[in-house]
Structure 1
Amino acid sequence: MAIVKICGLLREDTISSIAHLPIDHIGFVFAKSRRQVTPGQAGTLIRKLGAERGGQSLPLFFGVFVNPGMDQLAETLREAPLDVIQLHGQEDAAFCREVKRRFGVQVYKVFSVREEDDTAALEQLAAFRGAIDGFLLDTAGGGTGKTFDWSRIPPFQLWAKEAGIPLLIAGGLDPDNVTDLITRYNPDGVDVSSGVETDGQKDTDKITAFVERVKACV
């Protein structure tokens, strides 16, 4: 059953409305974005979900960053108990290893699918073996709400399997297309943000439909 990651949460009422859903990962955006939160806001949302769950297991909490410094990460983690640092910038493998060592968190790296030969991308990815705990494939540019050519997924799946880490697919997913993706390519997980929004705000009905459709795929 595929992992479900909902990214870009901002509001306490959204947290309350989805607390009962089997969401595996929740992402908070600390990079510049209309979905950006402060460390304090993220900490409040994490505590809110803990209270709503009433002692039940919690999802893993991801922090989304672009080229952060160690000081920024330390400051964020003091207020927001994140489980995973998700890196979208030009961070290299050495930086990922240092984040893991210094903060004791998991690190996921995002790779963009561009209009080029995937051989170069896979060669770049090879340097991250042992430095990351998972990675995401996303449409070039990130946050575009557009899908990429899914036929390019399999070589990256093979690399992830050989490395023993999960691969999550992002980019333009929504309740209407996620079943097709999972049926055709069976990724380890899926990551959604704009695809479960209405007028720029998270939509509980869309989140519910997305989660239900992912979890119905076996």
Structure 2
Amino acid sequence: MKVKICGITDVGAALAAVDSGADAIGFVFAKSKRKIDVVNARDIAAELPNDIMKVGVFVNETKEEIDRIGRVVGLTHVQLHGNESADFSKSLSLPVIKALGIEGKDSLEAIKEYPCEFLLLDGPKGKYQGGNGLSFDWNILNEQDLLGKKVILAGGLNEGNVLEAVRQVRPYMVDVSSGVETDGKKDLNKIKRFIDKVKRQS
């Protein structure tokens, strides 16, 4: 089972996550309390091993800006959290992770429109498009056809519920941000415990 630590804003947390076994690091370039500037993200990404996924999170950004940030930072994947169309997704130069805020079964209909390999299923939208620390009813996925996509499960995950989430959904990857924070900052011990739990059971 793969693990993505999202909302990284400093090199110490990024390297601690990688040392603990993280497979992907997420940088938020959209409006968020975890938003990072391009130069800082570039400097952090430069310290990461080549085999680590470096994911840029965007919300309704222009193609030109996404491509520019991708080149400067050295991103490997683009995560789209807004209302981006399937054609927009296809126009990007990097592989796309399409994020969906799940309100109920009807939310999953949108996956049929997207020509992407990765589908990130997040909790309902709150103050921000994602990263609100809200989960959704994982049971609604039991009979859904996810069209062979690699599912990344996000939304309200933490060390207390991630094993149950994995058991129910069997995703390709789990994605955590607020669930490994203390007082709004990445907690290196929580990161390690979260990753250890996921890796031990997979």
Distance of aligned partners of 1:138 and 1:19 in 2 relative to their CA distance in 1, 3 Å threshold: closer
Distance of aligned partners of 1:185 and 1:164 in 2 relative to their CA distance in 1, 3 Å threshold: closer
Aligned mates of 1:122, 1:198 — CA distance in 2: 32
**Corresponding residue for residue 12 of structure 2:** 13
**Corresponding residue for residue 22 of structure 1:** 21
Does 2:90 match 1:90?
A: no
The two structures, once aligned, show a CA RMSD in angstroms of 1.5
Distance of aligned partners of 1:185 and 1:78 in 2 relative to their CA distance in 1, 3 Å threshold: closer
Aligned mates of 1:138, 1:172 — CA distance in 2: 8
Aligned mates of 2:70, 2:192 — CA distance in 1: 29
Structure 1: gaps spanning 5 or more residues? 51-56
Q: TM-score, normalised by structure 2?
A: 0.92
Bigger helix share:
1
Structure 2: gaps spanning 5 or more residues? none
**1:212 pairs with 181, 196, 202, which one?**
196
Q: CA deviation at 1:80?
A: 0.5
Q: CA deviation at 1:155?
A: 3.8
Say if 1:23 and 1:211, in contact at 8 Å, map to a contact too: yes
Larger gyration radius, structure 1 or structure 2: 1
User: Match of 2:122, SS?
Assistant: strand
Q: Which runs of 4+ in 1 moved over 4 A?
A: none
Q: Describe how 1:1-218 pairs up with structure 2 within 5 A.
A: 2-50=1-49, 58-99=51-92, 103=93, 105-114=94-103, 116=104, 118=105, 120-128=106-114, 131-141=115-125, 142-156=130-144, 158-159=145-146, 163-218=147-202
Q: CA deviation at 1:43?
A: 0.8
Q: TM-score, normalised by structure 1?
A: 0.85
Say if 1:64 and 1:87, in contact at 8 Å, map to a contact too: yes
Q: Deviations over 1:49-101 (max 9, x none)?
A: 24xxxxxx5311100000110121122123101010000000011110011xx
After TM superposition, the structure 1 stretch with the greater mean CA deviation from structure 2, 60-69 or 164-173, is 164-173
